[in-house]
Amino acid sequence: MKTTGIIGGLGPDTTSKFYLQVIEKAKTVDPENRPPLLIWNVPMNLKEESAFIEGEDRQDYYLELLTEGVQKLEAGGADFIIILCNSVHVFIEDLRKIAQIPVLSIIEETAQFLENHDINQVGLLATSATINSQLYHQPLESKNVSITTPDNQSQQKLNQSITCLVNHEHTAQDTQVLNTIIGNLADSGVQTTLLACTDLQLATPSHPTVAIYDTMHILVDSTVREIFSDES
């Protein structure tokens, strides 16, 4: 089995859930052995994190932290790296230039998942950082997937809820915010919603008619696939 290097801590709850889900998924492939996993918990300043979620430019700060994470995981013996946060994938090409090992992209894996499942329209729920950088737009449009995003007022509420989720301060109100946004998108004809922030699954959103796909779950499957891949 390959050793996975996980850049996590953005936020910690999601990192812990991802770790457990990879362990469980790997058992379906090899029930006799647990996979080797390394986690680098990014030492994040919470004010900087909140500003980034809102869409403010914090590139130098984030790239330095992520570069350190890549270097630590490589030194620890990782065979490939995954990054749990969608928003910081704006730096993935910089990190791929630095890394001596493969860096999987949650954006690329999600785009392929949607194509494989013949999904051609999604409501995109993500941070303003992800929306403003249009991380998903070109990859999804290249797969003939159209994107609908929340209106400005809903996006601000979503940012606030994401901040609460990241900081382990969420309540039932955050789930209600998320469900309302999904419902509003459904009213405009969007019947598939993509949770393009891995912390949103902590709010356990639901809707009676909308299919909800979580990018964290997609990345779990991709990670386990890579763990058992024979390619070097």
Note the pTM of the prediction, 2 decimals.
0.93
Q: Tell me: pLDDT of 55 over 80.
A: no
Q: Tell me, what amino acid is at 100?
A: Q
Report, as an integer, the average pLDDT of 143-156.
Answer: 96
Same domain, 160 and 80: no
Whether residue 68 lies inside any domain: the answer is: yes
Report, as an integer, the average pLDDT of 51-59.
Answer: 80
Q: What is the pLDDT of residues 196-213, one digit of tens each?
A: 999 999 999 999 999 999
Q: Which residue is it, tokens 């430019």?
A: 57
Report, as an integer, the average pLDDT of 112-132.
Answer: 96
Whether residue 32 lies inside any domain: the answer is: yes
Q: Which residue is it, tokens 């909800």?
A: 212
Report, as an integer, the average pLDDT of 118-144.
Answer: 95
Whether residue 232 lies inside any domain: the answer is: no
For residue 111, give the CATH number of its domain. Answer: 3.40.50.1860
Same domain, 101 and 9: yes
Same domain, 173 and 127: yes
Same domain, 73 and 102: yes
Q: Tell me: pLDDT of 232 over 60.
A: no
DSSP structure string for 101-159: S-B--HHHHHHHHHHHTT--EEEEE--HHHHHHTTTHHHHHTTT-EEE---HHHHHHHH
Residue 214 pairs in a beta bridge with 195
Q: What's the pLDDT at 95? A: 97
Same domain, 80 and 125: no
What are φ and ψ of residue 134, in 5° steps? 55, 40
Q: Tell me: pLDDT of 146 over 70.
A: yes
Residue 146 pairs in a beta bridge with 121
Same domain, 26 and 10: yes
Q: What's the pLDDT at 231? A: 60
Question: Domain range for residue 81?
Answer: 4-106+218-227
Same domain, 128 and 195: yes
